[in-house]
């Protein structure tokens, strides 16, 4: 079997703890407790192994990574390993002093999440009163610290109409990049799909807004746009293909081909406590199971797009069909494609009520 290409990116999920309760949370339905989290020294070893493996970019995420009191020490380990570090944060647990300490430790970039451009709606979606105001203060502190800023806006049925205002907010906050990321429906987001999934007309309007903003703001703001698969005819190459360019490490040390893969049953994912990243990447059955094209069923097998979308999303296939090896229902050739049309119709008639993410709760999926 051909050796896999070297991974380019590592998502280090430092903790599942978070002060927000977002109803679209992408963390697994069973969260790791603080007592199970890897310590800073172990993360340092993981970062050195990642650099040796070929990783260039490190994303420090959670939960909320600032819930870790040793975050500056973890950032220093990343800098020592020669990795470009991006902190993915809600901003609500960080102040100017901690941010300066992170910058001094070698942090390269900050990615700040926002739930809406409108304060009341943002606080309702995030489940934290005063959260939006804290985020705006934090964005100013990022600029004062001299760090580049990306704004991440997770969009859905209940905030998508304010996309123009979110674009304006990114400009006001001095962001160089805006990620407009539609909710992806697995884990907790699947539990709230009816309250989050936009209709086709709303999606088309948003897509047109992004296209016009890209034209008007070229050279001022880079806009990344991730659309939901529920209105697609072909699946996305999830994470660039299973085990092809990306890996994640959970707070408890599991090595995963994507941050949501822990939700898939029947896998024995390696753990950095007893397995090197190189062995996990190249030698583990879990990473090899859906790598490449040999595993693909019909109609994926032999499809001209097999090495374009790499079979789509395994987590979405499992969430919708109960089989992670089935054709991603986002493909119009899938025998399960009708499930997406059904979900869109059901969401259109559903109330906008959320079930909020709680640390001790499980999603009913």
Annotated binding site for [4Fe-4S] cluster: 18, 22, 25
Rounded alpha-carbon distances, angstroms, from residue 220 to 172, 215, 217: 12, 10, 5
Residue whose C-alpha is closest to residue 43's, from 63, 60, 26: 60
How would you write 300-353 as a 3-class SS string? CCCCCCHHHHCCCCHHHHHHHHCCCCCCCCCCCCCCCCHHHHHHHHHHHCCCCC
Residue whose C-alpha is closest to residue 225's, from 180, 273, 268, 282: 180
At 252, is the secondary structure helix, strand, or coil?
coil
Which residues 6+ apart lie within 8 Å of 283 measured at CB? Answer: none
Residues annotated as binding site? 18, 22, 25
What is the chain's length? 365
Distance CA 129, CA 89 (A): 17
Beta strands 255-256 and 57-61, pairing class: unpaired
Other C-beta atoms closer than 10 Å to the C-beta of 245 total 18
Question: Quick one: the chain helix, strand, coil %, rounded to 5?
Answer: 40, 15, 50
């Amino acid at each position: 079997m051909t050796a896999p290409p070297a991974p380019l990116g590592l998502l280090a999920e430092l903790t599942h703890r978070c002060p927000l309760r977002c109803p679209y949370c992408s963390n697994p339905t069973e969260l790791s407790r603080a007592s199970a989290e890897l310590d800073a020294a172990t993360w340092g070893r993981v970062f050195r192994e990642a650099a040796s493996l070929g990783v260039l970019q490190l994303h420090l995420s959670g939960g909320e990574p600032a819930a870790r009191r040793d975050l500056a020490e973890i950032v220093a380990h990343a800098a020592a390993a020669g990795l470009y570090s991006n902190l993915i944060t809600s901003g609500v647990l960080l102040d100017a002093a901690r941010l300066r300490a992170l910058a001094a430790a070698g942090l390269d970039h900050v990615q700040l999440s926002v739930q809406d451009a409108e304060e009341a709606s943002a606080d309702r979606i995030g489940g934290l009163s005063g959260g939006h105001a804290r985020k705006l203060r934090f964005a100013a502190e990022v600029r004062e610290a001299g760090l580049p800023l990306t704004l991440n806006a997770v969009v859905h049925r209940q905030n998508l109409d304010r996309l123009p205002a979110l674009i304006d907010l990114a400009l006001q906050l001095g962001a160089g990049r805006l990620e407009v990321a539609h909710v992806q429906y697995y884990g907790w987001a699947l539990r709230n799909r009816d309250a989050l999934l936009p209709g086709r007309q709303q999606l088309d309007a948003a897509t047109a807004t992004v296209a016009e903003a890209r034209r008007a703001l070229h050279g001022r703001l880079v806009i990344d746009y991730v659309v939901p698969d529920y209105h697609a005819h072909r699946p996305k190459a999830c994470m660039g293909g299973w085990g092809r360019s990306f890996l994640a490490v959970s707070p408890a040390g599991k090595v995963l081909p994507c941050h949501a893969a822990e939700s898939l049953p029947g896998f024995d994912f390696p753990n950095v406590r007893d397995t090197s990243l190189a062995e996990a990447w190249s030698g583990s059955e879990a990473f090899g199971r859906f790598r490449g094209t040999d595993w693909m069923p019909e109609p994926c097998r032999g499809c001209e797009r097999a090495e374009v979308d790499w079979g789509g999303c395994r987590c979405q296939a499992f969430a919708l069909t109960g089989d992670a090896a089935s054709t991603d229902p986002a493909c119009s050739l899938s025998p399960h494609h009708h499930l997406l049309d059904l979900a869109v119709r059901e969401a259109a008639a559903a109330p906008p009520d959320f079930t909020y993410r709680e640390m001790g709760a499980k999603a009913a999926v």
